[in-house]
């Protein structure tokens, strides 16, 4: 992971009518920009991907002065923009600064060999492959086009060795935390695909009745009402959830008092779609009233 020197932007102090936070997310295709933007959206940011860079000042002003008054904005800007827009980016950001709008530009980078492997595994097309370029040539051309973004970045993150969960954690801890508040992430998973490596707590729900064996419920998930109602009708499911809540009620304040800013609670079942998803959502809902930010992530449903 590489840090650039943090720049002091003239717009560091938000204008009274501007957003409290504006994050511009850029980087190479396949580096994790979509994951970063989705995570910021979970954290309450109003996110727009692939916004033409020239429209950024108007976009920020429009949302800042809307009746809704969005205070946290995130914009994805990458090689899908026209080259002239990317070259004009220094002027565009300077325009934001003159309007007293503070911003932070985050650039996600990845080694070429890792990008090639990711494209091979997902079988997706590179945005520049439509110009008849091979993958390696397309990546090289993308790097050339994004040089203005890289040169202006306040933070450069190398995602070559980060998986999806590690990138989400990095975004949450660096860009999404409310100062002084502890953030909780409830993550559901399937044991057959392994336990998440970044878990602070792991709870096994495989002992509970399984909706999978009901043919009507099998295609659904723990977020769907029929599955929730089925599980809530089982006394052992309620007792299991109550015991977990009591445990967390007792011990999470100790973590918070110790200065922890982020705790991941993982719940697993066989398929990662019914019992674990239901419990993650139920616990998150119950604890949202007590902690600054409570998020859910369902690994097998992403």
Pairwise CA distance, residues 246 & 252, whole Å: 10
34 has binding-site annotation: yes
> pLDDT digits over 176-193, tens only?
655 557 889 999 999 999
Residue (of 168, 204, 189, 162) closest to 298 by Cα position: 189
227 has binding-site annotation: no
31 has binding-site annotation: yes
238 has binding-site annotation: no
**Sign of the dihedral defined by the CA atoms of residues 1, 115, 105, 187, in that order:** negative
79 has binding-site annotation: yes
Q: Are 262 and 197 in contact (CB under 8 A)?
A: no
> pLDDT digits over 32-90, tens only?
999 999 888 888 888 999 888 888 888 887 876 655 556 788 999 888 887 777 878 88
270 has binding-site annotation: no
CA distances 122 to 5, 22, 68, 255, 290, Å, are 34, 31, 38, 39, 40
Domains assigned to the chain: 21-176 (3.40.50.300), 183-301 (no CATH)
- What are the structure tokens assigned to 150, written together? 């890289």
99 has binding-site annotation: no
173 has binding-site annotation: no
pLDDT at 65: 65
78 has binding-site annotation: yes
Regions in the chain scoring below 70 on pLDDT: 1-20, 64-70, 131, 176-180, 292
33 has binding-site annotation: yes
């Amino acid at each position: 992971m590489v840090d650039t020197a943090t720049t002091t932007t003239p717009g560091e102090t938000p204008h009274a009518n501007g957003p409290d936070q504006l994050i511009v997310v850029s980087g190479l295709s396949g580096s994790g920009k979509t994951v970063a933007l989705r995570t910021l959206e979970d954290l309450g940011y109003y996110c727009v991907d692939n916004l033409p860079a020239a429209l950024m000042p108007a976009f920020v002003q429009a949302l800042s002065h809307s009746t809704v008054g969005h205070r946290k904005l995130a914009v994805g800007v990458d090689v899908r923009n026209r080259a002239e827009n990317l070259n004009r980016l220094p002027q565009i950001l300077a325009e934001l600064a003159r309007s007293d709008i503070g911003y932070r530009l985050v650039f996600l980078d990845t080694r070429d060999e890792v990008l090639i492997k990711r494209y091979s595994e997902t079988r997706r097309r590179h945005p520049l492959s439509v110009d008849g370029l091979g993958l390696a040539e397309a990546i090289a051309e993308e790097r050339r086009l994004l040089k203005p973004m890289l040169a202006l970045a306040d933070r450069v993150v190398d995602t070559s060795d980060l998986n999806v969960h590690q990138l989400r954690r990095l975004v949450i801890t660096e860009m999404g935390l409310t100062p002084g508040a502890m953030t909780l992430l409830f993550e559901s998973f399937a044991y057959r695909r392994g336990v998440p490596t970044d878990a602070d707590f792991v709870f096994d729900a495989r002992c509970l009745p399984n909706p999978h064996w009901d043919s009507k419920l099998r295609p659904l998930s723990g977020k769907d009402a029929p599955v929730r109602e089925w599980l809530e009708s089982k006394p052992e499911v309620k007792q299991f959830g109550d015991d977990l809540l009591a445990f967390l009620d007792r011990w999470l304040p100790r973590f918070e008092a110790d200065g922890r800013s982020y705790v991941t609670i993982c719940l697993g079942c066989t398929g990662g779609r019914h019992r674990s998803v239901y419990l993650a959502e139920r616990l998150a809902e119950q604890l949202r009233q007590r902690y600054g930010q409570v998020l859910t992530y369902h690994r097998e449903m992403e």
